[in-house]
Structure 1
Amino acid sequence: MRIVVALGGNALARRGEPMTADHLRTNVRGACQALAGLAREHEVVITHGNGPQVGLLALQNLAYQDVAAYPLDILGAETQGMIGYVIQQELSNALVGEREVAAIVTTTEVDESDPAFERPTKLIGPTYSAQDAAEAAAEYRWTIAKDGGAFRRVVPSPHPLRIMQAPLVSTLLDNGTLVVCVGGGGVPVRTDSKGRQIGMQAVVDKDAASAALTADLGADMLIMLTDGDFVSENWGTPEQRDILTASPEGLSTMKFAEGSMQPKVEAAVRVAEAGGRALIGPLDRLDDLLARKVGTEIRSDVEGGVVFVGK
């Protein structure tokens, strides 16, 4: 099967953990060891987030004031190279050289008139206290939003139209190469009237871009790996119900957390409506997720629309 695997932020940086290179490598190594079995048997593309890392680069960037700060599109490309290199190396090590692995920098086409540019929602960078967030917003002219009990910077997150290098990725897969790409959703670009790509100041949602890549590649499945066991209705309340299987129609009346689960559900719905399957579940129980002992599957042919755990 041709499978796109989207690594959630927990696979790269755990909440509250210092964003050091050693921690990044340790977390990626564990993720790649979990993925090795799947990668041996299938055509696998690995995508990944970059929110904490691109925010950290932006802060480091601001600390050196002798030159103008680099824009978000270039910082996004930097994180693709940095994280892609570590995933490529650790997956190659986990496979002991059985498969070739290639990490490539990809761009994602967006519409410059996308309303997301007027309403930033994508969380990036470290968390702040209310006072530190207010000071950062004033000093750097950032938009700040609440993230749990803390605050983080938010930037525009436009809808991905297509992954520009999808034909190259498909060629690599056809030739037996595993691919790491669409890091952080890919570098957002627009295409001008002359066909030239121009970088945009935004961060595309990784799950939405992974769904676009799934469609562009004609992949059979999108797997979004996170730290939760299921997608849940009324999460965190006494009325919480964990979802085992659902159709796009079954999910249409449900609301999920905008900054975390909602993008994953929307990405899964896009894949299911195109005739594919999407799984959302925990990285540390990947085998159980594939065996349908944990996690949520979204596909078009679910009788009754939604099947809850224990029902």
Structure 2
Amino acid sequence: KDDPAFQAPSKPIGPFYTKVEADKISGDNKSVFQEDARGRGWRKVVASPTPLVIFNRQTIEKIAREGNIVIAVGGGGIPCFYVESNKLQGIDAVIDKDLASALLAAQVRADKLFILTDVPKVCLNYNTPQEKPLDKMTIAEAKKYLDEGHFGEGSMAPKVRAAINFVERSGKDTVITESRFLGDEHGGTRVTII
């Protein structure tokens, strides 16, 4: 609840509204709305705080140790905080699924993190004539490219941040790619320490 993201809600949720509808709802319950970049209307926006704890981590670890493939935190999880010892309360927010995955992978000491997306590799100058697919990025390069604005906030930027997060916590690699390249040793973009 103390995350700076609560001061600047940015994650769109729910249906689209007209400006008049959004203003009315906002006036009734103090919700924050933003106009959609593609002109489809107005949507409620909520904070997207950085996840700090995965509450079911031990259960997930146990299932993995038993030889099962675990698919978890796909929706990022339910955002909540402690209001008192051992009592959780939900909060109006959305947990980023990529950051939650990176946190879980580091906590369970995963050998590698695979972040799936709908493109084969991370690209600089994406969807332009100067597009350049990347086979590998160091953490320093990834941070530089983020600062230069190469990755869209609603698409690749959260994935690159999650990759950095996992590599910094674990010292192990992250691969960002689409699912058809999971078995390919040269598929995707590898994010590494050096």
TM-score range, shorter chain: 0.7 to 0.9
Check whether the contact 1:247–1:272 (CA below 8 A) recurs between aligned residues: no
The structure showing larger relative contact order (alpha-carbon pairs under 8 Å, at least 6 residues apart) is: 1
Indicate the residue corresponding to 2:123 in structure 1. 232
The TM-score normalised by the length of structure 2 is: 0.83
SS in 2 for 1:211: helix
Identity %: 36
Check whether the contact 2:105–2:166 (CA below 8 A) recurs between aligned residues: yes
Indicate the residue corresponding to 2:160 in structure 1. 265
* Greater fraction helix: 1
Indicate the residue corresponding to 2:133 in structure 1. 242
Q: Do structure 1's residue 277 and structure 2's residue 173 form an aligned pair? A: yes
SS in 1 for 2:127: coil
- For 1:140, the aligned partner's letter is I
Offset from partner CA, 1:15-58 (integer Å, 9 cap, x none): xxxxxxxxxxxxxxxxxxxxxxxxxxxxxxxxxxxxxxxxxxxx
Q: CA RMSD in A?
A: 2.1
Deviation for aligned residue 1:225: 1.3
Check whether the contact 1:121–1:154 (CA below 8 A) recurs between aligned residues: yes
Deviation for aligned residue 1:278: 1.1
Q: Do structure 1's residue 140 and structure 2's residue 2 form an aligned pair? A: no
Change (3 A) 1:171 1:247: same
Change (3 A) 1:163 1:296: same
Indicate the residue corresponding to 1:159 in structure 2. 50
The TM-score normalised by the length of structure 1 is: 0.54
Indicate the residue corresponding to 1:113 in structure 2. 2
Check whether the contact 1:121–1:259 (CA below 8 A) recurs between aligned residues: no
Check whether the contact 1:281–1:295 (CA below 8 A) recurs between aligned residues: yes
Q: Which runs of 5+ in 1 are unaligned?
A: 1-111, 302-311
Check whether the contact 2:118–2:178 (CA below 8 A) recurs between aligned residues: yes
For 1:227 and 1:149, the matched residues in 2 are separated by 24
- For 1:197, the aligned partner's letter is L
For 2:72 and 2:4, the matched residues in 1 are separated by 26
- For 1:277, the aligned partner's letter is D
Change (3 A) 1:236 1:146: farther
What is the aligned length? 183
Q: Do structure 1's residue 298 and structure 2's residue 191 form an aligned pair? A: yes
Q: 1:196 aligns with which of 73, 87, 97?
A: 87
Change (3 A) 1:289 1:195: same
Deviation for aligned residue 1:193: 3.8
Indicate the residue corresponding to 2:59 in structure 1. 168
Offset from partner CA, 1:159-189 (integer Å, 9 cap, x none): 1012011011111212233334324111111
Change (3 A) 1:246 1:182: same
- For 1:278, the aligned partner's letter is T
Deviation for aligned residue 1:194: 1.9
Offset from partner CA, 1:43-93 (integer Å, 9 cap, x none): xxxxxxxxxxxxxxxxxxxxxxxxxxxxxxxxxxxxxxxxxxxxxxxxxxx
Deviation for aligned residue 1:148: 4.4
Offset from partner CA, 1:259-298 (integer Å, 9 cap, x none): 2111100000111122122111123x2xx34314442111
Deviation for aligned residue 1:242: 1.4
State which drifts further: 115-124 or 146-155.
Answer: 146-155
For 1:247 and 1:115, the matched residues in 2 are separated by 27
Deviation for aligned residue 1:122: 1.5
For 2:35 and 2:105, the matched residues in 1 are separated by 30
